[in-house]
Amino acid sequence: MFLMTEPLETAELLAFVKIVETRSLSRAALELGVPRATLGRRLARLESRLSTRLLRRTTRSITITDAGELLYQRARLVLEAVAQAEASVRNPDDAVRGDVRVSVPPLNTPEFADMLLAFTARLPGGAATRGLQQPPRRSAP
């Protein structure tokens, strides 16, 4: 197995794949929401790391080289795997999970109970508990 001294970055691979798919540096930058210059630097860094040209660029067109085509096929698989790995550890709905403990002064109104129940209903797999604080004792004169 060949180990690189500097591993490729997903940002570089993403830039490269998007440039290939849009066939435009400007369009790729727009779709990724990054400046065109940033995308150009990422592509240059990727080509430098690999010591090969991946794309032939002119002022009017971008064409992929043979080496670029090989990398493109594999980079798409890598980016797909990264997206799947990320999705596997995220909550499906990005909801906050867990138990919540609320400590409040004695408040036994229906409105407070309704609010607490509504909040608890929004906690999948969790629960909210209420602890009532005792009012401070007043010292005798």
State how far the alpha carbon of 26 is from the alpha carbons of 4, 60, 73, in Å.
30, 12, 22
CATH topology assigned to domain 10-89: Arc Repressor Mutant, subunit A (1.10.10)
Q: Looking at residue 96, what is its pLDDT?
A: 62
**Per-domain boundaries in the chain:** 10-89, 100-132
**Least confident segment among 2-16, 30-44, 115-129:** 115-129
Task: Classify 59 as helix, strand or coil.
Answer: coil
pLDDT digits (tens, 9 = 90+) for 44-100: 999 999 999 999 988 888 999 999 999 999 999 999 999 888 887 776 666 666 666
Looking only at the bridges linking them, the beta strands covering 100-104 and 62-64 are unpaired
